[in-house]
Structure 1
Amino acid sequence: MPKSKRAQVVSLTKVTKKTREQKGALIQEIQQNAEKWEYCWLFEVGNMRNAHLKTVRKLWKDSARMFFGRGAVMAKALGTTPDEECRTGVHKLAKQIKGQVGIFFTNSEPEEVTAWFDDFHPDDFARAGNRATRTIVLPEGPVLQYHSVPPEPFPHNEEPQLRKLGLRTVMKKGVPTLEAPHQLCEEGKTLTPEQAQLLKLIGEKMVEFRVRLRARWDASSGEVVQVDSSEISPDERAGDVVDEAAADDAMFLS
């Protein structure tokens, strides 16, 4: 009997691969920007969050262009050898493109760029694999959400989720309540998925999104200056996920 076409498993996470034409267009786009701007920075992101990367795009849209993701394509566009490079000396920067890094074109002076990114480090929620930066103990009584000011108790319909995540709650007057203090996490310990979700639910932020500038290419001299030789720590990479759609959007930050 022929197999029913209706009995097929369809992956909702499947992503269409980029065509040769699309990669070629991206290479051309990067090379055009290399000709246009005075500086090209290599950067790495700690505690990656797509929303914060889009904020960077918005704030720099009039004075910079950013490409993030697809490192092999970015390196090929700049050229990794003196014979292949699109601008004098830029191959020294291209050879450093490894892992989850991006390039940032601008005419802004280096002091302005470094000062801006040093100051831009918004707080965000930790993910599983991050280390707790402080010990959090939930007190006896109603479980509170600290998103709101003043904090408010969780609604009754969220009590099953709180119990599923490890809280021993009971219902008192329709409010999820702890009958004894509960240590949610301990400083320095790696967070579990359940702990990370609870921290997000109660509104406790434990990580900082950071863009770390690694090196800078200067069009006028053709030289590459190392800015920060240290790499993003494994803890800052924990839980980092850049979905394909977001990566595509981040590739053309104008």
Structure 2
Amino acid sequence: MPKSKRNKQVTLSKTKKKGRDHKEAIVNAIKQAAESYNSIYVFSYENMRNLKFKEFREKLKSSSRFFLGSNKVMQVSLGRSAADEIRPGLHKVSKLLRGDAGLFCTNLQKEEVERLFNEYEEYDFARTGSSATEKVELKEGPLEQFSHEMEPYLRKQGMPVRLNKGVVELISDFVVCEEGKPLSPEASRILRLLGIKLATFRLRLIYRWSDGDFEFYIEGPDDSDVESA
């Protein structure tokens, strides 16, 4: 029987795409911040955790403002060349917005910013596909941290286990992950069950601009291009 043309599936989860108005709002917000705050920093991030970042941002919202998102939009906001920059030297900041990077606009003193960023570090469970920072190996024998109900689930994750008098037992040594290799979905689940956090959410300062005063925190292959721009 042919399908009825009236029988069409409608996706209720569809959301409206962020268009030109959204981009213009971000551009205007960054321009306003660049004119309002004394200093602008470029920072990079590793193992981003949105909830943790939100907490850090809330802590500093009275004196500062963070911007994350499209590097291209942030570059346009600051100006890509000396001809279209909104304040002297900001096109140099623009050139450093590459990869996992963001902007930090603030009235805090330089020493306070450096202290906050250097001290900030949050540990969390590593996600599937991320590189393991160390080798995790379980030795043959009882796994008393797991109840007997967990045995089928652990076996499903590839662990060589059995029940021995009601106790979950590894029948041979088992490598959960190898240092430097991507985590499989099974490995990330096992690490979470074991309570082992291999991901560290960090923010690293790259560059500081403050009324014509510039400073690099991390040297890169294109630093000379930025300085001569």
TM normalised by structure 2 equals 0.83
Deviates more, 1:128-137 or 1:83-92: 128-137
Change (3 A) 1:129 1:56: same
Residue 224 of structure 1 pairs with residue 191 of structure 2: no
Q: How many residues align?
A: 220
| Alpha-carbon distance in 1 for matches of 2:32, 2:110 | 21
Q: Report deviation, 1:172.
A: 3.8
TM normalised by structure 1 equals 0.76
In the alignment, what sits opposite 1:182?
A: 174
Change (3 A) 1:55 1:5: farther
Find the partner of 1:171 among 163, 167, 179.
163
Q: Report deviation, 1:230.
A: 4.8
In the alignment, what sits opposite 2:9?
A: 8
Q: Report deviation, 1:197.
A: 2.2
In the alignment, what sits opposite 1:91?
A: 91
The answer to whether the Cα contact below 8 Å between 1:92 and 1:224 also exists between their aligned partners in 2 is no
- What does 1:94-105 align with in structure 2 at a 5 Å threshold? 94-105=94-105
Residue 160 of structure 1 pairs with residue 152 of structure 2: yes
The answer to whether the Cα contact below 8 Å between 1:69 and 1:100 also exists between their aligned partners in 2 is no
SS in 2 for 1:212: strand
Change (3 A) 1:208 1:85: same
In the alignment, what sits opposite 1:204?
A: 196
Q: Report deviation, 1:16.
A: 3.5
In the alignment, what sits opposite 1:80?
A: 80
Deviates more, 1:2-11 or 1:83-92: 2-11
Q: Report deviation, 1:72.
A: 1.3
| Alpha-carbon distance in 1 for matches of 2:123, 2:146 | 23
Residue 45 of structure 1 pairs with residue 37 of structure 2: no
Residue 128 of structure 1 pairs with residue 128 of structure 2: yes
| Alpha-carbon distance in 1 for matches of 2:110, 2:62 | 17
Deviations 1:200-235 (A, max 9, x none): 22111123111111111112xx2432221259xxxx
- What does 1:111-150 align with in structure 2 at a 5 Å threshold? 111-143=111-143
Identity %: 39
Q: Report deviation, 1:7.
A: 5.2
Deviations 1:126-168 (A, max 9, x none): 2334443333222334435xxxxxxxx2244433331121101
Q: Report deviation, 1:5.
A: 4.9
Q: Report deviation, 1:34.
A: 0.9
Instruction: Compare CA radii of gyration and give the structure with the larger one.
Output: 2
Find the partner of 1:193 among 174, 185, 191.
185
SS in 1 for 2:82: coil
Aligned Cα RMSD in Å? 2.5
| Alpha-carbon distance in 2 for matches of 1:46, 1:54 | 15
Structure 1: unaligned runs, 5 residues or longer: 145-152, 232-254
Which protein has greater RCO, CA pairs closer than 8 Å, 6+ apart? 1
In the alignment, what sits opposite 1:67?
A: 67
